[in-house]
Amino acid sequence: MQMKKQEICGFSKMMLLQCLILFLGICGGIWINRYIFIPTAIFTILICFTKNINNIYYHLFFCMSFTVVYKLSPTTTSLFAYVMIVTGVILIVRINSFKVTQLIPILIFSAYLIVGMGDNYTTAFKMIMGIILFYFFVNRVKLSDFKNHIMAFILGVIGSSIVGTFRTSLSQLSAYFRNEYTLYNGRNVTYRFTGLNYDPNFYAMSVIFAVVLSMILIMNKIGNKILMWIIFVSLLFFGFQTYSKMFLFSVVIIGIVSMIYMLRSPKMMVIALAFVFTLGTGIVTWLKKIGYMDIMFSRLFEGDISTGRFDLWRIYFEYLNNSPLSLIFGRGIGANYLSAGGPHNTYVESVYFVGILGSILYLFMIVLIFRAQKYNRRKRIINYLLLLAFIIMSGVLGCFTINELSFYYMLIWVGLNINISSKRCVFEEGNSSECLV
């Protein structure tokens, strides 16, 4: 009963209040004066000294969707990166507890990054602290807190998407963005929605994560049903406006996997088919109305489906093949991309920066952290959706150095460990499978 009094619509009042304060602070920084971002960042740092470690991650999950505009000028480093570094340092001092088997790979990889960082020290330390934050999240956050971290992230995506609708009409906001992504369908120009991100595909990635996580909350009957469905549909609405092939493919895969999961009995089959038919009819009707179908058919079948990525990968493969030392050890995190631009592939990007040796070490370290804590030992196919989506998206996006990467790892870990059920689940520490009919 006490827990219920501390919640609104099934989520922590404290989490919702902090997200609201952060949203007001960020909006104030955009609309009124950018220096309002400073007390907003200080608010997050002060939260690091509160008893509940979850508060820190509420802030970070919410603010990660605003990272592009969360800065004092369009050309400076995002305050989110500095907040990551400071919160990571505070947690190290505050908790001061590591498992040796996980600490050693973290230290080795950190040293590896620092050696090759050159002048790009902010990126190197941000990546290191991202790993530290991921480590503490896995080892300290409990099962009962998952839903609040999920909602903090979803609220950030929704909030940034709403603010992003003003990016062309608000001069203070448009100053952060150098160009607009457009498509021409033979009759008129269509703008690809990017939220508060530079690239529609990176924005689509955050929306896909939010879609899957909101779907998990709906399946587990967490939160107000009407509110959760409004959030789910809103996310799809924003996602489709990116005109991203990656988003379209991901939604199709998510839909297929969800169908497979739901088709466990004749009753569930009827419910699933009725749901898909109703939702699908509405979505297709809307997509036809806005011209989405014509544009996407053109993007899929009339041009290069890789949008030039195959040529970029070939250039990077040729470079690495002709430079054995770079292939093995990498060029260092401080190196610039080749003149052709970034590789648009996380796997190629990691080999380019840290080599095969560093990539293996990085993968080994991340897997160790993922396996450090397990709450759900009977995983269902839905549990693997975020991991599958991330593996696919990493093949077409360069995510190795982005601010959000470690937080995507955290959300994937949550997705793997949260209990998925068609019944109402009781999230209690030490009991991940107790459900009420």
User: Going along 385-437, which residue ranges are E strands?
Assistant: 424-425, 435-436
Q: Is residue 317 part of a domain?
A: no
Q: Is residue 354 part of a domain?
A: no
Instruction: Write out pLDDT tens, residues 53-87.
Output: 999 999 999 999 999 999 999 989 999 999 999 99
pLDDT interval class at 269 (50, 70, 90):
low
Query: Hey, is 207 helix, strand or coil?
Result: helix
Count CB atoms within 10 A of the CB of residue 436. 9
Contacts of 185 (CB under 8 A, 6+ apart): 291, 294, 295, 298
What's the pLDDT score for residue 313?
95
Lowest mean pLDDT among 27-36, 100-109, 187-196: 187-196
What's the pLDDT score for residue 414?
97
Q: Is residue 398 part of a domain?
A: yes
Query: Hey, is 152 helix, strand or coil?
Result: helix
Q: How many residues make up the chain in this entry?
A: 437
pLDDT interval class at 385 (50, 70, 90):
very high
CB 213 within 8 A of CB 205: no
Q: Is residue 377 part of a domain?
A: yes
Q: Is residue 211 part of a domain?
A: yes
The residue with greater pLDDT, 269 or 361, is 361
What's the pLDDT score for residue 138?
96
The residue with greater pLDDT, 191 or 69, is 69
Q: Two tokens at 128?
A: 């290191």
What's the pLDDT score for residue 431?
42
What's the pLDDT score for residue 426?
40
pTM: 0.90
**What counts of helices (H) and strands (E) characterise the chain?**
19, 6
What's the pLDDT score for residue 192?
87
Q: Is residue 111 part of a domain?
A: no
pLDDT interval class at 429 (50, 70, 90):
very low
Query: Which range of residues forms the domain containing residue 65?
Result: 2-97+141-303+373-436
Q: Is residue 331 part of a domain?
A: no
Q: Is residue 409 part of a domain?
A: yes
Lowest mean pLDDT among 77-91, 269-283, 386-400: 269-283
The total domain count for the chain is 1
Mean of per-residue pLDDT scores for the chain: 87
